[in-house]
């Protein structure tokens, strides 16, 4: 089971016990080899998906991954353009679209996404 306890916490039920992560302004949650890698201001924690009750994956905010598919690619740029055009999307997607963290979703976020895709820091 996955639930957001507050606006800045992520709670996962792992092996029957709650794990609470206090998220930073731009947390990074990646997924490789059936494992969630959750990076907060305090630490990076690896959680095997098989240990999460219900097998559910959270809606996450991964820096540059606007559409939540665990990769940064052209589809994320498309989501940013949709938001700029006023297309209503999931609030998690909309919040993720502010890739450069300046408080607005604009062309600068597209540029930051391209930088991430190229392996650079935006």
CA-nearest of 97, 23, 40 to 63 is 97
What backbone phi and psi angles, to 5 degrees, belong to 87?
-70, 125
Could you read off the pLDDT of 17-28 as tens digits, one per residue? 777 777 665 667
User: What pLDDT does 39 receive?
Assistant: 76
Over range 66-73, report the average pLDDT.
Answer: 80
pLDDT for residue 108: 93
- Tell whether the model's pLDDT for residue 4 goes beyond 50: no
Using pLDDT thresholds of 50, 70 and 90, give the confidence band for residue 45: confident
Could you give the CA distance from residue 60 to residue 10 in angstroms, rounded to a whole number?
Answer: 9
pLDDT over 50 at 99, yes or no: yes
Percentage of the chain beyond pLDDT 70 is 66
CB of 11 closer than 8 Å to CB of 3: yes
The structure's pTM equals 0.52
């Amino acid at each position: 089971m996955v639930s957001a306890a507050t606006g800045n916490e992520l709670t996962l039920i792992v092996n029957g016990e709650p794990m609470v992560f206090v998220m930073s302004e731009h947390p990074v949650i990646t997924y490789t080899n059936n494992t969630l890698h959750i990076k907060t201001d305090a630490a990076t924690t690896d959680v095997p998906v098989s240990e999460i009750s219900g097998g559910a994956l959270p809606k996450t905010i991964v820096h540059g991954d606007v559409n939540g598919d665990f990769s940064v690619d052209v589809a994320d740029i498309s989501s940013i353009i949709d938001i700029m055009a006023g297309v209503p999307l999931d609030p998690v997607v909309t919040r993720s679209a502010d890739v450069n963290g300046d408080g607005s979703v604009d062309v600068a976020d597209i540029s930051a996404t391209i930088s991430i895709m190229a392996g650079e820091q935006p």
